């Protein structure tokens, strides 16, 4: 599986490269600045891009903007964004494009090797990988539209937004999958969102709604 990596900190960039290669990923390009990222993405068209939001020269949103532009030129290119902090605006920009896998992780999560590798693979496969803290803050910023949800429905929605399947949600909440399905159906009804059999699309629909 081919990866383009964008990270300006040399130690972290080298560490991520070694980590990914240890799990059979092929890092075809590792760049340390915004201007170099877009050409690398368009040249290599990787199976997944792992991108820091803030890159030189201005350390604002170069990484994200390059990833978004690359997805416009190569629709569906999977992108996993890394960030030092929760930045809902950046999450919204990425999630409004529903084509291809997307993810948003805090850099602290990289310390959990299994979780990070699973996130990279999930995004490469067209899925969604959202950091629970990002999801929590997105939900908190949009409490009004969610006021009609029960406590359990909010828990289910949060886990959905992380990219978990119905089975994984059931295991996490110690309930049956049928109960989870009923909660999800109720959530979509209350949020005026059409249900979908496509887990990736339903997560993006929920997150896009929450960021509207």
Q: How far is CA 197 from CA 75, 181, 187, 201, in A?
A: 22, 11, 15, 8
Q: Two tokens at 92?
A: 């919204």
User: What average pLDDT does the chain have?
Assistant: 84
Quickly list H helices, the chain. 10-22, 34-44, 62-73, 88-95, 113-124, 132-141, 151-161, 166-173, 177-190, 199-210
Q: What local confidence, expressed as pLDDT, does residue 169 receive?
A: 92
Which of 183, 93, 72 minimizes the C-alpha distance to 138?
93
Mean pLDDT of all residues in 53-70: 88
Q: Tell me, yes or no, whether 87 and 66 share the same domain.
A: yes
Number of domains in the chain: 2
Question: Is 136 a member of any domain?
Answer: no
What's 42's domain CATH number?
3.40.50.2300
Q: Tell me, yes or no, whether 36 and 62 share the same domain.
A: yes
Q: Tell me, yes or no, whether 37 and 108 share the same domain.
A: yes
27 vs 86, higher pLDDT: 27
Last residue of a domain, one of 86, 110, 131: 131
Question: Is 19 a member of any domain?
Answer: yes
Domain span at residue 96? 2-131
What's 156's domain CATH number?
1.10.10.10
User: Helix, strand or coil for residue 120?
Assistant: helix
Q: Tell me, yes or no, whether 151 and 124 share the same domain.
A: no
Q: Tell me, yes or no, whether 113 and 10 share the same domain.
A: yes
Last residue of a domain, one of 79, 98, 131: 131
pLDDT higher than threshold 90 for residue 209: no
User: Helix, strand or coil for residue 20?
Assistant: helix
Q: Tell me, yes or no, whether 122 and 150 share the same domain.
A: no
Last residue of a domain, one of 105, 131, 157: 131
Question: Is 88 a member of any domain?
Answer: yes
pLDDT higher than threshold 90 for residue 22: yes
Q: Tell me, yes or no, whether 31 and 115 share the same domain.
A: yes
Question: Is 196 a member of any domain?
Answer: yes
Question: Is 137 a member of any domain?
Answer: no
Q: Tell me, yes or no, whether 169 and 110 share the same domain.
A: no
Q: Tell me, yes or no, whether 75 and 114 share the same domain.
A: yes
Q: What local confidence, expressed as pLDDT, does residue 212 receive?
A: 47
Q: Tell me, yes or no, whether 111 and 181 share the same domain.
A: no
Q: Tell me, yes or no, whether 65 and 150 share the same domain.
A: no
Question: Is 84 a member of any domain?
Answer: yes
For the chain, the straight-line distance linking the first and the last C-alpha, in angstroms and rounded, comes to 34
Q: What local confidence, expressed as pLDDT, does residue 186 receive?
A: 85
pLDDT higher than threshold 80 for residue 102: yes
Q: Which of 11-20, 76-85, 130-139 is predicted with the least confidence, judged by mean pLDDT?
A: 130-139
Q: Tell me, yes or no, whether 82 and 147 share the same domain.
A: no
pTM over 0.85: no
């Amino acid at each position: 599986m081919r990866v383009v990596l964008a990270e300006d900190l040399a130690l972290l960039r080298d560490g991520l490269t070694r980590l990914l290669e240890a799990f059979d990923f092929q890092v075809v390009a590792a760049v340390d600045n915004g201007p170099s990222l877009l050409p690398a993405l368009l040249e290599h068209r990787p199976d997944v891009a792992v991108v820091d939001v803030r890159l030189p020269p201005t350390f604002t949103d170069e990484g994200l903007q390059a990833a978004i532009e690359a997805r416009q030129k190569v629709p569906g290119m999977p992108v996993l964004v890394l960030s030092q902090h929760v930045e809902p605006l950046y999450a919204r920009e990425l999630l409004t494009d529903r084509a291809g896998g997307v993810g948003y992780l805090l850099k602290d999560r990289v310390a959990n090797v299994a979780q990070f590798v699973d996130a990279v693979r999930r995004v490469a496969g067209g899925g969604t990988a959202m950091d629970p803290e990002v999801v929590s803050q997105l939900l908190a910023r949009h409490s009004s539209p969610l006021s009609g949800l029960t406590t359990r429905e909010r828990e289910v929605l949060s886990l959905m937004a992380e990219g978990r399947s119905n089975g994984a949600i059931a295991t996490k909440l110690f309930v049956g999958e049928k109960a989870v399905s009923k909660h999800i159906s109720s959530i979509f009804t209350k949020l005026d969102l059409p249900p979908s059999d496509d887990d990736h699309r339903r997560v993006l629909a929920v997150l896009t709604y929450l960021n509207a």
